[in-house]
Amino acid sequence: MSESNPCLACGACCAHFRVSFFWGECQSAGGIVPDDRVVQISPHLVAMQGTESKPVRCVGLLGEVGCGVRCALYEHRSSTCREFEASWSNGEHNPHCDTARAAYGMPPLTPPLQPHQVPERVA
């Protein structure tokens, strides 16, 4: 992640949503997610510890939501986390990102200015 990544100053998704995924992503099944960081929620699904009930806060989230965060399990995170993108990071709006940010009093992210939208400098 680059320093300009808005996720590094947010973390709301990790403290708002249940992070559930197929148990086959766990290390004991040949995946990469550490077994000791998940809880079973159904015969085929697990969730990251801390996200299975309210209040939510993933066990891997370090730091203060909205101020500066990082994921202690970043290299071993689930597909759910890998597929979740901040709004506009790929050029598309993610309403779930907005929902999580709003739950922590943060405004939604806005799309970056396009070259034709940048105001000209006046000499």
Range of the domain at 75: 6-106
Q: What is the pLDDT of residues 27-78, one digit of tens each?
A: 999 999 999 999 999 999 999 999 999 999 999 999 999 999 999 999 999 9
Q: With respect to residue 117, please indicate whether it lies within any of the assigned structural domains.
A: no
Give the predicted TM-score (pTM) of the model. Answer: 0.85
Does residue 48 belong to any structural domain of this protein?
yes
For 11-28, the pLDDT digits (tens) are 999 999 999 999 999 999
Average pLDDT, the chain: 92
Mean pLDDT of 68-89: 96
Per the structure, the count of domains in the chain is 1
Residues 6+ apart with CB under 8 A from 29: 23
122 DSSP 8-state letter: P
